[in-house]
Amino acid sequence: MKILSVNAGSSSLKFTAYEMPEESVLMSGVFERIGIGESFYTIKFNGEKTKVEVELTNHKQAFEILIKELLSHKVVNSLDEIKGIGHRVVQGGTYFDKTVVVNDDVIAKIDELCSLAPLHNPAAITGIKAAQEVVPGAVQTVVFDTAFHQTMPKENYLYALPYDWCDKYKIRRYGAHGTSHKYVSMRMNELLGRTDTKLITCHIGNGASISAVKDGICLNTSMGLTPNAGLIMGTRCGDIDATILTYLMDKENMSPKELDTILNKQSGLLGISGVSSDSRDIEESIAAGNERSSLAQTMYVKRIVDYIAKYYVELGGCDAIVFTAGVGENSKMTRLEVMERLAVLGVKADKEANDCRGVEKVITTSDSAIPCYIIPTDEEVMIARDTYELAK
């Protein structure tokens, strides 16, 4: 069965075409700068990448080109072969704890939650509607980043704010990256050969979150009402004293929108280093002797360790720590510094094993009290799996 996994951004559209249930990748690609000029798309087929510059005014046009590429490369011979299209949606609120088939009510609820994910949910709706127009015969599904975290107990998802704010304003911890945390925790259980596990999964990228997963169920996660909670990230500050916000609004006469821009786009690694939001640039700057970059890296690693230590206690121990996503899979410096700071828990890094990028492997010594693993995430295949089950 041919299944498409789709991730629509405000000006982008990523996709992967699968043959299911074999999970073999038939084609993948990304359309960029949709509706903002100088647009293009990149297709990966049979190990070769092709870049095409084309004016893309909207997501429907991108979908139409996507289908043409599938047909011209003989991935499918007709639209009828595409049985399901799964869409990534960031915010599902309390409405969705699993993947569902798209209908008018589902779209209305996604739209209702746009205020909690203003950059992501509207784009997802655009992608869904474009897919419905271009491939009307396919089963359309939505896979929510927040769904995996819906198992958190009330004491972990509520904030110590007036109790009725949760019902009245939907203010609570939702988390994000749930599809990734679910994938790597499932894969970790496969490697351990059991499901009765206590795992700490670290999705460390430009956006980053850590989850405590017990017996395959999410117990806690670092992101909150929005993705700007928990860890220090590329441009996001993560956890801060909430009164800083009202203090700054008073001192600098800032509007909420101006302050939000600073907290989400000018803070984190970028704000401390003054160099970049990209971990690779930070590491190069440290090598060149930049003290602020070194400080940014130290703070970045410390916050990761803080959450791992917190979840170690909450879980009552840990069977494995997993590193995934862009930084987690590729930054040997960050992984090593995290593991060295966890020596008090008996973690023993294997420096030789850690000297790698983007591969699945254990990176601690055989006598480490807690094994640490790199597991490359695969959110697309999780979307495909759920969509396949519903399309059957």
Which pLDDT belongs to residue 227? Answer: 87
Same domain (yes/no): 240, 364:
yes
192: exposed, middle or buried (C-beta count within 10 Å: 0-12, 13-18, 19+)?
middle
Question: Per the domain annotation, does 390 fall within a domain?
Answer: no
Question: Per the domain annotation, does 154 fall within a domain?
Answer: no
Same domain (yes/no): 73, 219:
no
Look at residues 128, 144, 160 and tell me which one is the last residue of a structural domain. 144
Same domain (yes/no): 312, 244:
yes
Question: Per the domain annotation, does 71 fall within a domain?
Answer: yes
| Alpha-carbon gap, residue 33 to 330, rounded angstroms | 26
CB 269 within 8 A of CB 301: no
- The candidate with the shortest Cα–Cα distance to 177, out of 153, 206, 198, is 206
3-state DSSP percent of the chain in helix, strand and coil, to 5 = 45, 20, 35
Question: Per the domain annotation, does 219 fall within a domain?
Answer: yes
Question: Per the domain annotation, does 211 fall within a domain?
Answer: yes
Instruction: Kindly state the tokens that stand for 149.
Output: 């975290």
Look at residues 82, 117, 144 and tell me which one is the last residue of a structural domain. 144
Same domain (yes/no): 91, 237:
no
Same domain (yes/no): 243, 349:
yes
Look at residues 82, 116, 144 and tell me which one is the last residue of a structural domain. 144
The pLDDT averaged over each successive group of 10 residues in the chain (392 residues) is 88 91 95 87 93 91 92 92 93 92 95 83 88 91 95 97 94 94 97 97 94 98 94 94 94 91 92 93 96 98 98 98 95 98 98 96 98 95 95 90
Residue 331 identity: S
Same domain (yes/no): 132, 219:
no
Question: Per the domain annotation, does 12 fall within a domain?
Answer: yes
Residue 391 identity: A
Could you give phi then psi for residue 176, rounded to 5 degrees?
A: -155, 180
Q: Interhelix angle for 379-391 vs 178-192, to 10°?
A: 90
Against a cut of 0.85, is the pTM above it? yes
For the chain, the domain total comes to 2
Question: Per the domain annotation, does 223 fall within a domain?
Answer: yes
The yes-or-no answer on residue 111 being catalytic is no
Same domain (yes/no): 139, 209:
no
pLDDT for 9-41, tens place per residue? 777 889 999 999 999 999 999 998 888 888 999
Same domain (yes/no): 227, 373:
yes
Please report, for residues 119, 206, 237, 328, the alpha-carbon distance to residue 335 in angstroms, rounded to integers and kept in the order given. Answer: 30, 15, 20, 7
Question: Per the domain annotation, does 199 fall within a domain?
Answer: yes
Same domain (yes/no): 246, 345:
yes
Instruction: Kindly state the tokens that stand for 116.
Output: 């909690």
Same domain (yes/no): 214, 114:
no
CATH code, domain with 137? 3.30.420.40
Q: Which of 97, 104, 111, 145 is catalytic?
A: 145
The SS3 call for residue 295 is: helix
Boundaries of domain holding 303:
194-379
User: Taking every pair of C-alpha atoms in the chain, what is the biggest distance, in angstroms?
Assistant: 63
Which pLDDT belongs to residue 127? Answer: 87
Same domain (yes/no): 210, 331:
yes
Same domain (yes/no): 203, 127:
no
